[in-house]
Amino acid sequence: MFQYKDLEIWFSAGSQHLYGPETLRQVSANTQAVADFLNKAGLPVKLVFKPIVTTPDEITALCREANYAANCIGVITWLHTFSPAKMWIAGLSILEKPLLQLHTQFNEVIPWDSMDMDFMNLNQTAHGGREFGFIGARMRKPLSVVTGYWKNKKVQEKVAIWMRVAAALHAEKHLKVARFGDNMREVAVTEGNKVSAQLKFGYSVNTHAVGDLVGVISSITQGEIDALINEYEESYTLAPCTQVNGEKRQNVIEAARIELGIKKFLEQGKFGAFTNTFEDLYGMKQLPGIASQRLMQQGYGFGPEGDWKTSALIHVFKFMAKGLPGGTSLMEDYTYDFTQGNELVVGAHMLEICPSIAEGKPLLDVQHLGIGGKDDPVRLRFSAKPGPAINASLIDIGNRFRLITNELETVKQPHPLPKLPVACAVWKAKPSLDVSVEAWCAAGAAHHSAYTQALTMDYIRLYARLHHIELLEVNENTDITQFQKEILWNEVAYANS
């Protein structure tokens, strides 16, 4: 998997030769100073200063080199002076990486007493940036614009969001999703066109025989298993039946072997995400529970029942959110509490919820699972931290991909679930349970989603925009009548996306 520290974003100012060499020298020095400052400001990806570009050929060369530089994940430009935008057409038409216009000024405040025409020749963002905006719009480029003084924290936060989304797009383009088994039989929403997904998002999705995975699981040594069980004992509270000499201890040993085997398989094949299905576990003793949970926590995408779209989305969200507070997990709408005025959704899955969203120390437990016909699987039990979160579901609507989000407020689990041994999150859906569900179903969103406490809609909107995929948002302001019209209109707006 990629590391943020290995990635870079190129930073260059656009100008022209109208103002003489002294102005260009100053533009260059200022751009370098801004890059140096921002690199010390704690942004997630480093900025690499590139010489200013002043002619169509220089601009085109910059864009061409950015395309071919393996670690360059995007370009930031600053129209410090006016840079006539027809000069940018050739370059922008080939640029394949995300582009941000930093609409800033070297000076924060206007020097009212000293400002003269030399100052105006040097500092032209207010109009130069708008000329650049026009060509972005004219070329239908998904240009991002961040406006404000470069030392301002809010400006840096917006740049950081863009950087993280650009980094996630880069990781997504190189993502390999391994599928163990096909989709759960007869399930519709987890299906989709894998070629279309690769064309749109860049990731590949391929099937690998469960027997090959079982071969790797069988190769795990007792020493490796012992070390992992030590880690379990340090990280979790162990239910009595799972402790040394407990009646289910052997299940824990087997679960550790499965976790190590899946991880080894994923590492050997450089996979960043995987799926499995309880209908195809041939040769495995348990459905992987704790394995999927812990691998998600390490950044792997996971989708149950062959759900490769959710698996890939979880990996992408996790990569975007690396180092941010709050977790990201697979989620499934499990059941409702229809108490009037306090309607709740319980989100869970039969095993595979990521402990990155947990409040407190998870309980490692072994309990019977009514489907799959295998040994009782090991799972981590916990409830999710209260606070705001988002559910996101990616579906294949036939001629395109559609992303649907629902903002929600996770609440403290009101009652224990002594007889339902799963990890769960309990939330209030926005704007209300009924409107949320009616909108979700009208949009065709799945019962599986990527649940994230770490990302805000700013990240997800930018992700959708850079991919030019349809995004339907269910939130505090959702009106169901309007939402249904939006679905209808989007048939035209996204017909060729």
For binding to Mn ion (CB under 5 A), which residues are involved? 304, 332
CB of 447 to Mn ion, least distance (A): 6
β strands within 7-71, DSSP E: 8-13, 46-49
Provide the CA 15 distance to its chain's centre, in angstroms: 35
What count of Cα atoms within 13 Å lies in the side-chain half-sphere of residue 184? 13
Give the residue from 39, 26, 1 showing the smallest Cα distance to 10: 39
| Helix, strand, or coil (residue 363) | strand
CB of 313 to Mn ion, least distance (A): 15
CB of 190 to Mn ion, least distance (A): 8
Q: Are strands 328-337 and 448-452 parallel, antiparallel or unpaired?
A: antiparallel
Residue with tokens 């994230």: 452
Report whether 427 contacts 389 (CB < 8 A). Answer: yes
What order of strands is seen across the sheet that includes strand 378-381? Answer: 237-238, 363-366, 378-381
Residue 44 vs 304, nearer CB to Mn ion: 304
CB of 389 to Mn ion, least distance (A): 19
Q: Which parts of 186-248 fold into alpha helices (H)?
A: 194-201, 210-218, 222-235
Residue 289 vs 304, nearer CB to Mn ion: 304
Report whether 277 contacts 183 (CB < 8 A). Answer: yes
CB of 97 to Mn ion, least distance (A): 36
| Helix, strand, or coil (residue 209) | coil
Give the residue from 16, 10, 125 showing the smallest Cα distance to 79: 125
CB of 206 to Mn ion, least distance (A): 21
Q: Take residue 329 and report the two structure tokens written for it.
A: 């997990």
DSSP state of 90: H
CB of 349 to Mn ion, least distance (A): 6
User: What distance, in Å, lies between the first and last C-alpha atoms of the chain?
Assistant: 29
Residue 332 vs 375, nearer CB to Mn ion: 332
CB of 83 to Mn ion, least distance (A): 52
Residue 332 vs 376, nearer CB to Mn ion: 332
Residue 371 vs 495, nearer CB to Mn ion: 371
Q: Take residue 286 and report the two structure tokens written for it.
A: 């348990």
Q: Take residue 395 and report the two structure tokens written for it.
A: 């579906």
CB of 281 to Mn ion, least distance (A): 15
Residue 304 vs 347, nearer CB to Mn ion: 304
Residue 89 vs 187, nearer CB to Mn ion: 187
CB of 314 to Mn ion, least distance (A): 13
Residue 44 vs 347, nearer CB to Mn ion: 347
DSSP state of 301: E
Residue 30 vs 276, nearer CB to Mn ion: 276
Residue 64 vs 447, nearer CB to Mn ion: 447
CB of 99 to Mn ion, least distance (A): 38
Residue 172 vs 332, nearer CB to Mn ion: 332
DSSP H or E stretch at residue 442 = helix 433-443
Using CA atoms, how far residue 428 sits from 342, 343, 400, 431, in Å, is 8, 7, 30, 9
Residues 6+ apart with CB under 8 A from 291: 255, 258, 259, 262, 263
| Alpha carbon distance 360, 226 (integer Å) | 25
CB of 302 to Mn ion, least distance (A): 11
Residue 332 vs 407, nearer CB to Mn ion: 332
Q: Which parts of 75-179 fold into alpha helices (H)?
A: 89-94, 117-122, 125-138, 153-173
Give the residue from 318, 419, 345, 423 showing the smallest Cα distance to 380: 423
β-sheet bridge partners, residue 345: 336, 427
